[in-house]
Chain A
Amino acid sequence: MSSFSGLNIVVKGLFAQQRALDVTGHNIANVNTDGYARQRVIIETAKPTEVLGGRGMLGSGALVQQIQGIRNGFLDVKFWGENTVLGEWDAKGQHLGDVEMVFNEPSDAGLNTVIDRFFSALQDLSNGEKASDLTVRETVRQAAIAFTNNLNNMAFQFEKVQTDADFAIETRISDINSYARQISELNGQIMKYELDGSNANDLRDKRDLLIDKLSNIVDVKTFEDAEGRFRLNVGGRLLVNHIDYNRLILAERGEEYNGVQIEKKNDVDADGLHEILWDNGCGFNPKGGELKGLLDIRDGNGDTGMYKGVPFYMEQLDHFAKEFAEAINNIHKEAYGLKGSYEEEGGEQILFFTDNLTEASYALDGDGKRIARGTDITAKNITISKEIFEDLNNIAVASSYDTVPGDASKGLEMVGLRHENVFPTYGTPEDFIKSIIAALGVDRQEAIRMRDNQSILVSQTDTLRMSVSGVSIDEEMSNMIRFQHSYNAAARLITAMDEMLEMMVNRMGLVGR
């Protein structure tokens, strides 16, 4: 045994405590770093030496075996799963809120109010003696214009909600691509640093943080094999394969992409929406996350298995505009306005609502009879007819030419539609609007409830994660004291040994000098 071996032991101890203090410092420095998992120094005893003569093993001090990041992989996976669900419902709740804004009910400016005003004006006109009153006719025309404008505006707003969702999807796709690139880069670095068996804790933290963010956008699934190669699936397909990654691309619907025609999803859809594809041309179908929420909102038409997104409300509004206009038109075209006799021509055949303001309501057939034209009315294009726009006298409420001007029985019939089942499964026009709005309310309520519940789950999981991985100042402080004292003690030991050596080297053997 050398006289100096004791110093070696103590120096190892000093080094070990110093490392531990360094790590404590790193922990404290990163107490507020997103995604940081606290680290701990694993110190173990150095290889002992055998004392000759079978008198046991002599310890040779301490060594830093590794610096470990404290993480619970199960909690990460759980967090990602819950976060994906949260992202989906959060997006749905938010965008259904926009849909609610479009309906603008309950208020004094919603669809219900303009329908009510239209019927009231028509009702005024249908009070027999007022049928020839041009001021009352003007009120009817204005109320009808307000009604059609409201529908046009709503259709426009719905398209905007849809294109907004599309824009959010675009942003999210570029986020995913950027995350994929960063993760694949990190994979390479982690692999390199861990070749010698150490832990690339901080890099792994960064990677997990990226996946945390990604998990809000889309469903994720991760695999790491024994060699440390990391794979990441989103939407059931491989996004990151160790140091390679696949890109997601956006192809405009209604255009060709790589020689393949990309179709519009729903007829009512706004132009220029995007289809998400993998860069190899395969379709991309997220199973959760904000992206799923956005896609459901943008594309969901409420058919079996489909979410009731914006297209559903667009279709319903179109259906409403079409059926309502047709019900009014069917009565109106058989009725007579204030001017002209067209009995031989098969009646006036003037429509009340049409799909454009420039085309006449009727055409003449071979026998010179008027035939009302067919229309393709949607909420977007509904307008009053050219004839009514040009001449108030063309508003027709009389049942025959002879009974003008006092007869308003057809007008009464039109007003009567208010209480008729114009919409077979819903009932009256107002019932229809009411049902749609109630359904929307229930859907958004569900989305908000799901989001609230889910955010509790997410934060609970996050709390658990923080409980395991978070830096506790108290703990670090006491560790600091602990390591400081150990360091001091080791240093003190050196002083003691120094004194011993002093004694040995300088004080001994002085006899006879």
Chain B
Amino acid sequence: MRVTNNMLISNMMRDLNSNLRRLEDVNKKMGSGKKFSMPSDDPVGVARSLKLRASLSEGAQFKKNAEDSLSWIETTEGALMQIKEVLQRVRELTVKGASGILVPEDSKKIAEEVRELRDHLVSVGNSTYMGKYIFAGYRTDTAPVGLDGDDGSLKYNGDDGGIMYRVGTEDILRANFTALEIFKPEDDKDLLKGMQFLMDALEKGALENDPPDPGDGDFEAVGNMLGDVDIYLENVLAKIAEVGAKCNRMELVVNRFDDEKLNFNTLLSKIEDADIAEAIVQLKSEENVYMAALAGGARIIQPTLVDFLR
């Protein structure tokens, strides 16, 4: 083939150009630390990275939800513990009140204490978290627990709605109990009404006998209450256990997403991040090729016959 000077020059320019382009690619990798910056650099890689990024951010959201639910659950747990303590005291008082050896003053005192405890229960039943009533179902803006004027029974102002947290793609947690579930475990068992009854029974013993005679209270009625108190207590204990279990589960969820984040980040880095060591080696080798091409080109394009003619 006939070779002309311009052929040499344009071939050299083209080769230098493609060398430079490769050099730039490697340089871009080094500078950004990423294997690709455009979908066309690596369509599959970009698609996978998009998917992973979405999973990562969703995971972070789920974790945040789980953490939020934990605060709610912990508030619930605190309230339930107080209710438990109240019920234990009520049980003690019931046992005491049923003993039949009380003087009316004592009965009255016990009745007083039961009233105090009842009021406390009502206020615990109206506990809030960040200004939202936690035992009201969906009606987080309404105090759920009130007393019926006639018989002191529970007047529930909430509904049976569940406060839900999505803590996984298919995992939705119900984080709340309603006051109904806690104060009225069965249809005819109403804690607040029961306490009113207890007070009435104790006070009756104190009022009807003058001078008071030990053993005149409605001891039998008080004694009968004991079984009910146990039912309430068991119910609350069961709820506390459930809350504890939920708490554990949410902690696990949080941990799981922490692990997942680590795994996903590792995977993302594998897909997106350039191997710097490899890139440097590549850069060096491209640089050498480029230098060699420059040196060779400089020799080739210079001499022509003109240089040797006198």
Q: Interface SS of chain A: helix, strand, loop or mixed?
A: helix
Given known contacts A128-B162, A433-B50, A434-B51, A403 and B5 CB-to-CB distance under 8 angstroms: no
Of the listed stretches A98-106, A164-172, A496-504, chain B binds A98-106
Inter-chain contact count A-B, CB under 8 Å?
177
Q: Does B72 contact A (CB under 8 A)?
A: yes
Is B51 a contact partner of A467 (Cβ separation < 8 A)?
Answer: no
Distance between Cα atoms of A128 and B133 in the complex (Å): 12
Distance between Cα atoms of A467 and B6 in the complex (Å): 9
Query: C-beta contact mask, B55-91 vs A, less than 8 Å → 1, else 0?
Result: 0011001001100110010000000000000000000
Distance between Cα atoms of A120 and B305 in the complex (Å): 74
Of the listed stretches A289-297, A371-379, A472-480, chain B binds A472-480
Of A433, A442, A445, A471, the contact of B4 (CB 8 Å cutoff): A471
Q: How far is the CB of B17 from chain A (nearest CB, A)?
A: 10
Q: How many residues of A contact B (CB 8 A)?
A: 62
* B304 neighbours in A (Cβ, 8 Å): 473-474, 477
Is B46 a contact partner of A106 (Cβ separation < 8 A)?
Answer: yes
* A100 neighbours in B (Cβ, 8 Å): 38-40
Q: Does A97 contact B (CB under 8 A)?
A: yes
Closest B residue to A133 by CB, please name it: B130
* B39 neighbours in A (Cβ, 8 Å): 100, 103, 105-106, 437-438, 440-441, 444
Is B46 a contact partner of A437 (Cβ separation < 8 A)?
Answer: yes
* A433 neighbours in B (Cβ, 8 Å): 50
* A444 neighbours in B (Cβ, 8 Å): 38-40
Q: How far is the CB of A139 from chain B (nearest CB, A)?
A: 12
* A97 neighbours in B (Cβ, 8 Å): 38, 40
Distance between Cα atoms of A405 and B158 in the complex (Å): 11
Q: Does B156 contact A (CB under 8 A)?
A: no
Q: Does B204 contact A (CB under 8 A)?
A: no
Q: Does A233 contact B (CB under 8 A)?
A: no
Q: Does A116 contact B (CB under 8 A)?
A: yes
Query: C-beta contact mask, B187-220 vs A, less than 8 Å → 1, else 0?
Result: 0000000000000000000000000000000000
* B306 neighbours in A (Cβ, 8 Å): 473, 477
Query: C-beta contact mask, A87-115 vs B, less than 8 Å → 1, else 0?
Result: 00000000011001001011000001000
Q: How far is the CB of A235 from chain B (nearest CB, A)?
A: 29
Q: How far is the CB of B66 from chain A (nearest CB, A)?
A: 10
Q: Does B143 contact A (CB under 8 A)?
A: no
Closest A residue to B128 by CB, please name it: A129
* B140 neighbours in A (Cβ, 8 Å): 128-129, 132, 405-406
Q: How far is the CB of A159 from chain B (nearest CB, A)?
A: 21
Closest B residue to A444 by CB, please name it: B40
* A418 neighbours in B (Cβ, 8 Å): 58
Closest B residue to A28 by CB, please name it: B306
* A309 neighbours in B (Cβ, 8 Å): none
Q: Does B2 contact A (CB under 8 A)?
A: yes
Is B163 a contact partner of A441 (Cβ separation < 8 A)?
Answer: no
Distance between Cα atoms of A124 and B161 in the complex (Å): 18
Q: Does A398 contact B (CB under 8 A)?
A: yes
Q: A31-B5, A106-B53, A467-B4 are in contact. List 14 more A-B contacts (CB 8 A).
A: A127-B164, A128-B162, A128-B163, A406-B138, A406-B161, A434-B47, A438-B43, A441-B38, A441-B41, A441-B46, A462-B10, A463-B7, A471-B4, A477-B305
A residues whose Cβ falls under 8 Å from a Cβ of B? 31-32, 96-97, 100, 103, 105-106, 112, 116, 119-120, 123-124, 126-130, 132, 398, 402-409, 412, 415, 418-419, 430, 433-435, 437-445, 448, 459, 462-463, 466-468, 470-475, 477-478, 481
24 contacts between A and B (CB under 8 A): A96-B40, A105-B39, A112-B50, A112-B54, A119-B58, A127-B164, A128-B175, A129-B72, A129-B134, A132-B141, A406-B132, A406-B139, A406-B161, A409-B164, A412-B166, A435-B47, A438-B44, A438-B47, A441-B46, A444-B38, A444-B40, A472-B3, A472-B4, A473-B5
Shortest Cβ-Cβ A-B pairs, 10 listed: A441-B39, A441-B43, A128-B163, A406-B138, A444-B40, A470-B4, A477-B305, A438-B47, A472-B4, A406-B140
